[in-house]
Chain A
Amino acid sequence: MAKKKEGWKELPIGAIIVEPGSSRKFKTGDWREGKKPVVDKDKCTNCLFCWISCPDSAIIVKDGEMKGFNLDYCKGCGICFTQCPVNAIEMVDEEKE
């Protein structure tokens, strides 16, 4: 459960944000509607086209290897799916895990 949001008296005036880097806390993954990316690591060549194309920095890379998707931030735009040169990424229905 998300924490209770502040009432109008508790918020800083003028809608300013007083905490630096707080956008990290804004988990935009819940904007995803229906489809999420999955990777077939047997096909993946770790070219990292997906990583460089992702507008939400949601591709997890460790030691030069593509490890999957951070679904807290992936908005399901499908750019990685269209950019993958070896068709290793598919967009699948969220329900069918």
Chain B
Amino acid sequence: MKVAAKTANEAMAEAMRQINPDVVAAYPITPSTEIVQIFSQFVADGLVDTEFVPVESEHSAASACTAAAAAGARVMTATASQGLALMNEVLFVTAGLRLPMVICEIARTLSAPINIHCDHSDTMDQRDTGWMQFYAEDSQEAYDLVIQAVKITEEAFLPAMVSADAFILSHSLQRIEMLDDKDVQNFIGEHKTPFSILDTDKPITVGPLDLQDYYFEHKRSEAQAMRDAGKVIEKVFSDFGKKFGRKYNLIEEYKMKDAKRAIVLMGSTAGTAKEVVDTLRADGEKVGLVKVFAFRPWPTEEVNQALKNAEYIGVMDRAEGMSGFGAPLFTEIRSSLYDENKNPDIYGYVYGLGGRDTTPGDIKKVFDDLKKVENGKKLDRNNYLGVRE
């Protein structure tokens, strides 16, 4: 183990070096460019055995990685924003073919208007692709989640993206604890694949036409893989925790035990929210935070368990969703809790679009709003935090 100062970009590039994937095909895009830039230096310096393919677009990056995964290779890439959007078509293919693959993703908003800063509209755009999604709070989590994601995708037969917030994490230097190279290799183990298009002794067809009589069954099977993935993730998280002392869960509960008012969110804003929870707790207020690590598969049981005593919940979404109703995390939380006997009052807050700073004051406003509701004041179901009226 060694302690180092790493941005999330550097941390994820180091994780890729230690994973030593068979194939990396990538195309640069702000703010994830550095991940591949650093990794390509590792390739040039002979520190990895990776076949590095500098392709002409993200569509090609995803295609080359998917094809290599079908040939039994351990594959990774990195992208952000428009790059992820350009991969969209292929992401359905990777998941539909049930191939393992990991994307180091930097969460950046989508055009228009053009903007290079943080929000989660790029990953939310990909939520129905059949890819698992993990959201990191800091460099350490980005590093740890990438390593664990490799094992998770290979055991769940579904691809995964690990997302770290643009600039806030991708370009901020933080203290991380890095594992030894050999520990990473031992943890992820050798990549075993049940089939490969290059195995001439066991010839297979990948990606055949699948019409009315079979397509539905294959999608049903893929859906089951996502339903079962939670168990795979918990097992890998548990192994990692036992070996290295950093135990992850599908969600993180922060001071939730007796919390009457709670905020739910994902990504780097959790750090700010914890600070606000501490401050309010010091004043005797029963507030808490639920940070969702895994947005796909959606951890219904864990979320409901964490929120079982909360009466007023503010769900903070760093993506609009453009549903004309509620943003993606809000609708998931509200839908999850619908089957519970308790009926908490849930409000949505869209925040931080296009990299707008989210301050402790903004988080406190959500807790204050929830308190006002508790005291009988009416609040809009869906709100915008930090936007000028």
Contacts and interface: CB of A to CB of B under 8 A. Distances in A.
Interface in B205-249: 205-208, 210, 213-218, 220-221, 224-225
B214 A5 contact: yes
B378 interface: no
A15 B97 contact: yes
Interface in A8-65: 8-9, 11-18, 20, 22
A8 B220 contact: yes
Nearest to B224: A8
Q: Which of A8, A13, A15, A18 has the most CB of B within 10 A?
A: A15
Contacts of A9: 221
B205 A8 contact: no
A17 B221 CA distance: 15
A18 B96 contact: no
B195 A6 contact: no
A14 B99 contact: yes
Interface residues of A, number: 15
By secondary structure, the B interface counts as loop
A7 B157 CA distance: 19
A15 B157 CA distance: 13
Contacts, number: 51
B204 interface: yes
By secondary structure, the A interface counts as loop
A18 B202 CA distance: 8
Contacts of A13: 98, 157, 194, 221, 225
A16 B215 CA distance: 12
Contact of B195 (A8, A16, A20): A16
Q: Which of A5, A14, A17 has the most CB of B within 10 A?
A: A14
Q: Which of B99, B202, B207, B217 has the most CB of A within 10 A?
A: B217
B195 A15 contact: no
Given A8-B217, A8-B218, A8-B220, A15 B208 contact: yes
A16 B210 CA distance: 10
Nearest to B98: A14
A22 B205 CA distance: 10
B205 A16 contact: yes
B206 A11 contact: no
B202 to A, nearest CB: 7
A12 B225 CA distance: 13
A17 B157 CA distance: 17
Given A8-B224, A14-B96, A14-B97, 4 more contacts: A11-B221, A14-B157, A15-B214, A15-B218
Interface of A: 5-9, 11-18, 20, 22
5 contacts: A6-B217, A8-B217, A8-B220, A11-B217, A13-B221
